[in-house]
Amino acid sequence: MKKLFLSFAVFSAIASCSNDNDHNEQRESIEGNWKVQKAEIFVQGTNKTTIFLPQGCEAENTLEFDGINQVAVNYELKNNVCSPKANSIQYNYDKSSRVIYYNTENGQYSYKITLLTKTDMVIENDKYGVDDNGNTKIFKRYYKKIK
């Protein structure tokens, strides 16, 4: 009886570890609908951070990743009503490096995902530009998963 219980305990431990890995893979998926929470511009060299919080209609903006296309739904004020306007673009996501690649007629753009959980995602653009003193600007967007 002790051997049977011990075997069951070992199997349960293995199964629970496997189950945790399955949850980690699910937690780290970019697929779904995301709502922007805030944006930051960090200037290297000065350590200055400017924070932008969505206001008005832009607080409704969302991103949806479906595995092939990213659909950005941006809201703008028309006739005193927030009206959606959707834009779709194909992307490739490199899961191992956590980089999203977009190919457009103006060239390829890439963004690094620096945080990805089941509910939160941070996308960083380190090629955002430089300030007047030559310091690199890093642009980060913080998202919360809504679906």
User: In total, how many domains does the chain have?
Assistant: 2
Does residue 56 sit in the same domain as residue 2?
no
Does residue 76 sit in the same domain as residue 114?
yes
Contact 44, 135 (CB under 8 A): yes
DSSP state letter for 118: S
Does residue 35 sit in the same domain as residue 103?
yes
Q: Which of 42, 75, 45, 70 is nearest to 59 (CA)?
A: 75
Does residue 38 sit in the same domain as residue 2?
no
* Residue pLDDT tens, the chain, 147 long: 333 333 333 333 333 344 444 444 445 899 999 999 999 999 988 889 999 999 999 999 999 999 888 999 999 999 999 999 999 999 999 999 999 999 888 888 899 999 999 999 999 986 778 888 888 899 999 999 998
Q: How far apart are CA 137 and CA 114, in angstroms?
A: 16
Does residue 45 sit in the same domain as residue 23?
no
Q: Which residues pair with 72 in a beta bridge?
A: 63, 87
- Per the structure, the complete domain to which residue 107 belongs is given by 31-145
Q: Which residues pair with 115 in a beta bridge?
A: 122
pTM of the entire predicted model: 0.74
